[in-house]
Chain A
Amino acid sequence: MPTAEKTLDEILTLAAAHFKVPREKLSPDDDFFKTLGIDSLQALDLLTKLENHFRVELPDYELQGVTDFRTLAGKIQIRL
């Protein structure tokens, strides 16, 4: 199982690549809606990308109110 730090790093890298944002502009505690400039539909794309990458299933109701990468990583980590 990857460490929590590695999971978080992979999420940041994947989000940067998918939304074409420089990786160095993303920080763990950023509000990803604001930093990536995305809406809820694009957030669903990110969720799907993450599920495919980590091979997990993450019910979207668990992400209600989650807006930062670190909390998102924590939700994924407990399913790895």
Chain B
Amino acid sequence: MRQFQGQTLSWDLHDGIIELTLHREPLNEISSSTLEELEKFVTSLDALSQDSHALILHCSLKSGFCAGADLRQLYGWIQEYGQSEVANHARQYLERIHAVMNALDAAPLTTIAAVHGVTFGGGFELALTCDLIIADKLARFCFPELRLGLIPSFGGIPRLKRDLGNAVVRDLLLTGRSFNTTKAQQIGLVSQVVGEGEVLRAARATAKQIGKFDPTTAVLAKRFIKPIPLDELRKEIDVFCELLPRPAVQAGLKKFVESTDAQPYLP
């Protein structure tokens, strides 16, 4: 399928470049419907990669790249399944998310995340599957999960550790603070910083340049330099599922999803 138009995302293959566009209002919260369409995409990826050398992952919404997991859905699961069963349900969901993220991480082409604005939680984790991150000057990155009594669960901790080292992970994870593109480039997370509204143009130019190289060499180079940290990814799911049923998490999520303040609840 060279083109797809879904409820949460779409893709298009043109001149050897796949553009995967997120467009779920309000800010691409990753829900079950997003996951289903991402699964559809990775199922199509082998066929798409026969005619492509690069994948650009971006978002067409003005407010940002992706706010992360759909916390309303997560809170709804706690209500629906109760504290005894919610971890089992979450584990099944996370197994599927991790399969998608691992497929994107190992995709047989060069992948570029073109991000702007809010790139938080699961959105940050999605960007971390890509080989390169190109960011708008106003992008911000964050793992806010500890503020709600959880850890990132879409593979973010092992991938960030793989790419940047343990100290950066500890800073982001244990403080829950966000940081800007300037900092992200200083620490080596972001490869290019561009002006507001220019991120897709820069990603396309980079993808075009990559197309000049031998694709077999590019794929082998990527496999050599970018191993998937499978053991740590498994442990991440275990820790998340251990934390999720606690009453403190339920209370934090309740405050967050029910907040109507200009500044949503976050401790």
Contacts and interface: CB of A to CB of B under 8 A. Distances in A.
Contact of A61 (B140, B177, B179, B181): B177
Interface string A27-69: 0000001000011110111011101100001011100110100
Nearest to B261: A40
A60 B64 contact: no
B217 to A, nearest CB: 38
Given A48-B138, A64-B263, A41 B64 contact: yes
B101 to A, nearest CB: 25
Q: Which interface class (under 10, 10 to 19, 20 to 34, 35 or more) fits A?
A: 20 to 34
A71 B27 CA distance: 29
Nearest to B181: A48
B43 interface: no
Nearest to A66: B263
A67 B140 CA distance: 20
B180 A48 contact: yes
A43 B118 CA distance: 11
Interface string B173-206: 0011111111100000000000000000000000
A61 B180 contact: no
Contacts of A48: 137-140, 180-181
A78 to B, nearest CB: 16
Contacts of A49: 138
Contacts of B64: 41
Interface string B79-123: 000000000000000000000000000000000000001100000
Given A45-B138, A48-B180, A51-B182, A65 B263 contact: yes
A44 B179 contact: no
Contact of B179 (A39, A45, A52, A57): A57
A43 B64 CA distance: 13
A57 B181 CA distance: 11
B262 interface: yes
B175 A40 contact: no
A60 B141 CA distance: 11
A59 B266 CA distance: 14
Nearest to B144: A60
Contacts of A33: 262-263
B137 to A, nearest CB: 7
Interface of A: 33, 38-41, 43-45, 47-49, 51-52, 57, 59-61, 64-65, 67
9 contacts: A33-B263, A40-B264, A41-B64, A45-B117, A48-B138, A48-B139, A52-B137, A57-B179, A64-B263
Given A43-B263, A48-B139, 4 more contacts: A48-B140, A57-B183, A60-B178, A61-B177
